[in-house]
Amino acid sequence: MDILIEGNPVDILQENYAKVLERLKSKQGKIKAVFLVSENQKWNWQSVYDDMLESSDFEPLVLITNVWLKRKNDIKLSETTLQENFDFFKKRNMRVEYAYDAKTDTYLPLSDFGADIIFYQQPWNIHPTQSLLETSKYALSCYAPYGIPVCDIGSEYDIGFYRQVWTYFEINQQMYDFLEKKDKNLVKNHVVCGHPKLDTYFEKAQDSENYIIYAPHHSFFPAHLNLATFRWNGEYILQYAKEHPELKFVFKPHPWLKATILKRHIMTEQEVENYYKEWQKVGIYCDNADYFDLFKKSKLLITDCASFLVEYFPSKHPVIQPRTRISPKFLPMVKTITDTYYQPHNLKDLKKLFKLILEENKDTLKEKREKTIEEMNFLGEKTSTRILKYLREQLH
C-alpha cells in the first residue's frame, strides 16, 4: 500500500529535508545511517552498508521493523518473522537492532536510534511512526527499488513514495531519460548511481557449481504485472529436476509465491507444502536475499521474476524467460536485455530449450548477450562508491 499524506506531501517533505540537511552540514562526528528492513529477502543495501562501515564519516545500523497492515483483514504475504530478519543480519556480523516491540506491538520512532539518513528497504506497509512524513522531520531518506523496475507500468516507477523520498537512486541514464520524457517531476529527486544489488558482480565467485536456478514469480493473471507462468511450468520443472539428478537445481521462489498460490486456489495448502518439500529433496531451496552468490555460481536461470531479468544479466549466463499471453510492455532498457534471453510461451517450447541448453550444451544467444552487456556498461563503477560520493557532496 502507498503512504498517503494530506496536503502537498512533496512540498512539506522538501521543506523538512532542507532543514535536516542544514543541520547535518554542521554536525560534528559521524553521520548515523540506518537501514529499515521488514523482509530480508528484499535486502539490497549490502555494498552501501559495507562501505559505510569502513568509512570514517558514516555509522551504519540495520533496524528490523514489522510489516504494517493498515487494515486487519489485509493478508500478510511474507512469512518472514522478526527473528529470522534479525538473525539474517546478525549471522553476517552486522550491527542490527529492533525498531519494533513485538510484546507491545509498538513501532519505535527511528529518532530513538539517532537516525540522520534512512535507507528504506521498500515503500510498502510502513507504519506512520516510521513513514516519510514523520522521519523527514529529523532525517534524510534514500531509496533504490528492491526489485529493479522492469515493466512500463506506473506502479513500477510512479507512486507517491518515489516522489516523496529525499533521494531516489536511479539505475542508469537510459532509465532517467525515459522517466524525464514522461514527466519531469518524476526525476526531480532522482540521481543516477546504478543499483547497489549489482555491486556483487565486482566480486567473483570462488568456484562455479553450474547451478540451474528456477525462480518463479507470483503475479498471476489478473495482476498489475501478469508475469507468473507457474501454472503451466511449475510441475514440469520439478519433475525434470527429479529425472536429472546429475544437474544441480536451485528453487528460488518469490517470497509471495506460496501465499498467492493459495489465494488464487492454484493448489491446496497440502499440495503447495508438498511441492516446496519436494524441491528441498531435489536440490537447494533458497528463501532469503543470499542469492547473488548462487547467480554467480550458476549456468542457467529459469525465471519470470521481474527484477531478476536485470539482476542476473551481468552474470553473462543464459536465461530462459517463460512468458504469459498477457504481459505488460517492458521498459526500453529491459527490452534490450530480454532480447538476449530465450522466451518460451508454452511447455512445448520450454522442453525444446531444456534439450538445447541443458542436454546439448548449446547457447545460441551467447554472442548477442555478451555484446549487449558490454554496450550497457553495467559494471563501470560500484554503485556504493557513487552513493557515498553523492552523500558527501550534499553534506558538505
Give 285-327 pLDDT, tens digit per residue. Answer: 998 777 899 999 999 999 999 889 999 999 999 999 999 988 7
In a domain, 4, yes or no: no
* CATH code at position 255: 3.40.50.2000
Same domain? 129 vs 262: no
CA 38 – CA 126 distance, rounded (Å): 9
State the pLDDT confidence band at 203, using cuts at 50, 70 and 90: confident
Same domain? 249 vs 357: yes
Same domain? 298 vs 360: yes
In a domain, 3, yes or no: no
pTM, whole model, 2 decimals? 0.83
Same domain? 102 vs 209: no
In a domain, 344, yes or no: yes
The CA–CA distances, whole Å, from 163 to 6, 133, 149, 204, 291 equal 14, 12, 15, 35, 30
Same domain? 313 vs 326: yes
Same domain? 91 vs 228: no
The residue range of the domain holding 124 is 9-200+380-395
Domain count within the chain: 2
Tens digit of pLDDT for each residue in 2-33?
444 455 688 899 999 999 999 999 999 999 99
Tens digit of pLDDT for each residue in 104-145?
999 999 999 999 999 999 998 999 999 999 999 999 999 999
Same domain? 324 vs 211: yes
